[in-house]
Structure 1
């Protein structure tokens, strides 16, 4: 008898076809998150769960799961999963690191460029019929080439951003839980404490995993350390930045701009204050959103499910 798998979101048919080669598949076949009551009902008799970061995989869910052997998430971060509880119950947890590194780094650097050069604001300016003539200081932004980039975190994606920054001759400083001397020489960058990074950087880029330990790591006090001309980029997780403090700093021109692909509570409504500031570029969590990368992520989830359910070790285990 084939193992049973529940999939919490609509996926490309090619991915479902692969799942069906080794399992019985049930799907929440919508582009919206599966309702909690449906998820709790469906998880009761499945062996594997194919989930996204939009689902809370917590103790309550595990208490409903009678046969669950593996939770395979289509994401790098796993702060939505109670990994300790899963481990206690002998349930494997997997994620999808690596395959989205370059795509997310592309998006991160795109935000650096778009915020510095005010691209969205300039496009709106043109579309709204405000462009009447060329003017010396019209829509002037910040230089990227030769500027100082402060990286908070130095994992795979951060390193990929640094590679791109080297092409712009940026001066790179970084702060990380552990120092990485081999990367310092490779990328000609300098390790520093967080306060120094915030004070010296033209661009502050947040790329660390979320945990309670780093909740609101960038708050009012930290933002006050930044230059008036500096730009904050967050493509990690929303909870790392205090969005209320960020809003007031941007509104009062304490810092130049921000580029955000993530928010503390997602999705956000159209009247969310940060969406209505001209010096903020906001995106709906699309860091890894290229067709090729999303397919690679989904196929890695399938591979992890198949391996665990056939008694092998997953390719990318969290626990």
Structure 2
């Protein structure tokens, strides 16, 4: 019988994870619960942010994890940092499952050395982020947030920075940078707007992109043609600063840049300069290079940008759905093989017998 350690956080509690384990793996499964409880919401978001950037070694996981990890077959968590020291104590563990697509909070290298498979949850918030992405497109083009803020201040304002080119979505060209789960869903949802979708993703085949009703293009062509440029790539050394001064120089002066992925995909200073000099029409950003941004950050004073505090993937539906998706995939892999969501598959020999 498998023994599972579930580690909750302020967004997804250990009790919710325990319920998903029993529902998916069976009521007989032994579950050990722990929760990562930073002192405040502010501390949680701060620690989450620095772990995203610098890895699990800078986090502050619950002290009890160092002991609890020693006697379990499977660890399930979401945002809690699982560092090399915890993994070193995990003598029986076969797999670590993460209720998110990114694995920045897990020391994957340490897990691989111990032959521990690291599962992530692909597409877990694809609907949440894709909804938000399209909302941000509409919000920036139609000045929805700005007009709301003005009216709240008692101002009946109808003219904004893009007054000369406010448009409709109809027949616009939307460029998607990255075509993974979220990019696919964005493309599908955009079909109802009668737009042309073009895609830059060197790892997605032309056949897959065309099957989704889109066209594969180079990054240069996408920047030249798109009315909206929406970021959906993973952040890596190869994609860091993917949009920089060179790319902004290619864009239409009416183009909008939307980022609900990772701030590092865009060169911060190049974007600020493009907005300040009106090289592009505007931007809609849900992610930042430092979160939260400083009160005097240049973006705070620009009239051609919509900014929100990293909300795109944060819906109750997405959080509650995720552990069931993850555990179902782990169970399928144990029973059938053919792992799909194991991030370190190429570097280990998969042995999940302990989970059967």
Fold shared, TM-score > 0.5 on shorter chain: yes
Q: How does 1:127-142 map to 2 (within 5 A)?
A: 127-131=152-156, 141-142=166-167
Residue 231 of structure 2, aligned match among 206, 215, 224: 206
C-alpha contact (below 8 Å) 1:2/1:24 kept by paired residues: no
Offset at residue 198 of structure 1 (A):
0.4
Matched, 1:171 2:224: no
Matched, 1:15 2:17: yes
Matched, 1:52 2:78: yes
Matched, 1:180 2:205: yes
Matched, 1:216 2:214: no
Counterpart of 2:259? 234
Counterpart of 1:283? 308
SS of 1:281 mapped into structure 2: strand
Counterpart of 2:3? 3
When the two chains are superposed, the root-mean-square deviation of aligned CA atoms in Å is 3.3
Residue 26 of structure 1, aligned match among 34, 39, 45: 34
Offset at residue 260 of structure 1 (A):
1.5
Offset at residue 59 of structure 1 (A):
4.4
SS of 2:101 mapped into structure 1: coil
TM-score, normalization by structure 1: 0.84
Offset at residue 17 of structure 1 (A):
4.0
CA distance in 2, matches of 1:110, 1:83: 34
- Relative to structure 1, the CA distance from residue 148 to residue 243 in structure 2 (aligned partners, 3 Å threshold; closer, same or farther) is same
Matched, 1:106 2:131: yes
TM-score, normalization by structure 2: 0.76
Offset at residue 150 of structure 1 (A):
1.0
Residue 256 of structure 1, aligned match among 247, 266, 281: 281
Unaligned runs of 5+ in 1: none
CA deviations 1:105-147 (Å, max 9, x no partner) are 1111111111111111111121112217x77999562332111
Offset at residue 167 of structure 1 (A):
1.4
How many residues were matched structurally? Answer: 316
SS of 1:288 mapped into structure 2: coil
CA deviations 1:5-55 (Å, max 9, x no partner) are 2515133544344458521111124555397574273332313444435x5
